[in-house]
Amino acid sequence: MTDRYAVIGHPIGHSKSPLIHAMFARASGQDMAYTAIEAPLDGFADTVHAFRASGGRGVNVTLPFKLQACEMATEPTARARLAGAANCLKFEEGGRTLADNFDGVGLVNDIQRNLACPIAGKRVLLLGAGGATRGALQPIAAERPALLAVANRTPEKAHQLRHDFAAHAPLQTGGYETLLGQSFDVVINATSTGLSQDRLPLPEGLFAPGALAYEMVYGKGLTPFLKQAQAAGVARVADGVGMLVEQAAEAFLWWRGMRPDTGPALTTLTVPLV
C-alpha cells in the first residue's frame, strides 16, 4: 500500500516540496505519495489529526505552523526543542508524534556539500534573530566555526539567543551597528527582507575576501541582500534553494530510512541569480 505524506502550510500553493519528494521517491523506488495541504490559520492541529486518521505517515510543516508543530509533538527532538519549532512530524504507533527540525541541517549541508564552503574555523554571521536563525544556530555551531555571531535590528532579541543557546555555542550578539569594523567569511540573511525587498543597514567591510553571501529565501533572484553583497565585491552568492532540497532529504531519510540523491532536484530547481 502506498505510504502517504504531505506538507502543511498557509499558503501552500507555492511549495516545491511535492515535486522534490516525488523525485526522491521515483529515484529510490519508494512507494509513497506526497501532497500539499493548506490548513486554516486556526486549524493546524485539526488538519494534522485528519491527515493522520486518513492513513498519513508524516508531514513537513512550513510557515506559519512550525511553532505549533513542535508544541503538539509528544516526542520533539532536542534540536526541535532548542529551536522552539519543528518542520517535520512522524507518526508512530500508540499515538506518538515525533518532531524534528531539519532546516538548520539542510542549510549546513547546502553550504558545505553543495557550495563547498567548510564552516570549521570560519567567521559566520547570521542576520536576524527570528525562527530561521533559531533553527540554524545549533547545526552551525556543531561545525565549530571560529566565531558565530547574530545581528538584529532589535539587539535584545539577539541577546536572548545568546542566553538561550549558552550551553551549545558562545554567540556574539548585538545590533547591526556593532558589526562596524568586523568582517565575516559566511554571511547568512535569515531575515524576511528577501521577501519585503527592504535593504539591511550593513556596514562597509562586512564581507571578508572570498566570503559567501547566503540568502535563505529562494526563487527571488538577486534580493537586496545579495545585491548589497555583490556591490561589496562578493563573488560567491547563493539563495536558499539548496537548503530547501537538503532539508527535504533529511526528512526523507528520517521517514524512509534512506538518503536520496539531491543532485537532480537541485538541478531542476536552481535558477540563475540575476
- Catalytic sites, residue numbers: 66
Q: How many helices (H) and strands (E) are present in the chain, helices listed first?
A: 11, 12
187 contacts 133 by C-beta, under 8 angstroms: no
Rg of the chain on CA atoms, in Å = 19
Burial 81-106 (b: 16+ CB within 10 A, else e): ebbbbbbbbbbeeeeebbbbbbbbbb
Q: How many Cβ atoms from other residues are within 10 Å of residue 55's Cβ?
A: 11
266 contacts 114 by C-beta, under 8 angstroms: yes
Residue 9 Ramachandran class (φ > 0 left, ψ -120 to 50 alpha, else beta): beta
**Rounded to the nearest 10 degrees, how much is the dihedral formed by the CA atoms of 184, 186, 144, 71?**
120
Q: CA distances (Å), 102 to each of 28, 60, 153, in order?
A: 21, 10, 26
Q: CA distances (Å), 70 to each of 106, 127, 191, 208, 221, in order?
A: 18, 24, 21, 37, 31
252 contacts 241 by C-beta, under 8 angstroms: no
